[in-house]
Amino acid sequence: MSAPRFAPGDRVRILDIGKPGHVRIPWYVRHKVGVVERHCGAYPNPEELSCARPGLPAIDLYRVRLGQRDLWPDYAGAPDDTLEIEVYDHWLAPAQDDAP
């Protein structure tokens, strides 16, 4: 198994890879930029498991921290409130330089 592509603190963009079916990435976080909170390990791909396939090789899973104001421009809570969500590696791209 290769080393994880991202480390805690890395800025990442959550992609919309347009895959139908049993995907675990809800619409409200797609196209959003956040920061990797931790690497959770590698797990069989649920998109494949749902079709009774083995889902291997296992895919790196990360927890990504997002600002609520970045998710919802009209968010009514405190400006620095956050949300964390799990994202599989193939739904992520590096976002070092691009604006959130």
H-run or E-run covering 74? none
CA-based torsion, 48, 49, 51, 52: positive or negative: positive
Q: How many residues bind other proteins (CB under 8 A)?
A: 27
Q: Which is nearer to other proteins, 33 or 71 (CB)?
A: 71
Which residue in 25, 35, 36, 92 binds other proteins (CB under 8 A)? 25
Q: Is the bond leading into 79 cis (omega within 30 degrees of zero)?
A: no
Residues that bind other proteins (CB under 8 A): 24-26, 28-29, 40-41, 43, 46, 61, 63, 68, 71-72, 75-78, 80-88
